[in-house]
Amino acid sequence: MPQIFHHSSNTLSKISIISALVVLGGVGAALFELMADSSYATNQGVMRVQPVQFSHSHHAGSMGIDCRYCHTSVENAAFANIPPTKTCMNCHSQIWTNSKELEMVRASFRSDESIPWVKVHDLPDFVYFNHSIHVKKGVGCETCHGRIDQMPLVYQKNSLEMRWCLDCHRNPEQYVRPPSEVFTMGYKPPEDQLVMGARLVKENHIQKLDNCYTCHR
């Protein structure tokens, strides 16, 4: 009886089995991991075009307007608040009144219809998040949002992945600052962060809340 297979099939089959395992397993896992962590999935670092080219770097940076001037409810509510057009008009009824860039703002003020701002930091609906408690316990604005005072157009500085949340929730001493410094941009801790952080955790009764139901209620 003639041979059914050529002699080389022994080698070929061994190579194909091993390479199938390595290629499918390894490359698949690596791709999956890269995809899940990519800015495509998380929107990290992606600049969003807004209906009005509002520059945080100009207003919060060069002008030095406090965060809370616009984001009024950040200390008291879950949501930090997107300011109404009236807040813009506090100044812009007086300055740059003829600016073309601001026509949409004036139109919104006249018609009483909101400017359709694009939400940059959008957590999934199954996550409960409250700004006020973070601000009260000494999590600086820049800790999560980055140097907003240097961003012409705001983008998401961090991934907002769950592991990013847990990084702080499990060991808050790495990031907390005195509550008086929460709104400071470019804050430098006067002593070692871990020493100060450990003290602040104790002083301000910061709990390590890492139960599922802390955020998934």
Taking CB under 8 A as the binding criterion, the range among 9-17, 118-126, 128-136, 143-151 that sits at the site for another protein is 9-17
In angstroms, give the least distance from the CB of 163 to another protein.
3
Mark out the alpha helices in 25-122 (DSSP H runs): 28-37, 39-42, 56, 67-70, 85-92, 103-111
Taking CB under 8 A as the binding criterion, the range among 90-98, 100-108, 138-146, 160-168 that sits at the site for another protein is 160-168
214 binds another protein per the rule CB under 8 A: no
In angstroms, give the least distance from the CB of 25 to another protein.
12
Which C-beta is closer to another protein: that of 13 or that of 73? 13
Which C-beta is closer to another protein: that of 111 or that of 211? 211
Secondary structure percentages of the chain, helix, strand, coil, to 5: 50, 0, 50
107 binds another protein per the rule CB under 8 A: no
Distance (Å, whole) CA 89 – CA 80:
20
Residues 28-47 vs another protein: string with x where CB under 8 A?
-x---x--xx----------
**Residue 132 in tokens:** 């006020």
Taking CB under 8 A as the binding criterion, the range among 73-81, 90-98, 154-162, 179-187 that sits at the site for another protein is 154-162
Per-residue burial over 48-75, b = 16 or more CB atoms within 10 Å of its CB, e = otherwise: eeeebebbbbebbbeeeeebbebbeebb
List Cα–Cα distances, 8 to 4, 12, 145, 150, in angstroms.
12, 6, 60, 64
Task: Single out the residue of 167, 179, 187, 189 in contact with another protein (rule: CB under 8 A).
Answer: 167
Which C-beta is closer to another protein: that of 55 or that of 158? 158
Task: Single out the residue of 15, 47, 91, 166 in contact with another protein (rule: CB under 8 A).
Answer: 166
Which C-beta is closer to another protein: that of 5 or that of 186? 5
Q: Report the greatest alpha carbon distance in the chain.
A: 100
10 binds another protein per the rule CB under 8 A: yes
Q: Is 114 left (phi over 0), alpha (psi -120 to 50) or beta?
A: beta
Is residue 149 exposed (0-12), middle (13-18) or buried (19+ Cβ within 10 Å)?
A: buried
| Contacting positions for another protein (CB under 8 A) | 1, 4-5, 9-10, 13, 29, 33, 36-37, 159, 161-163, 166-167
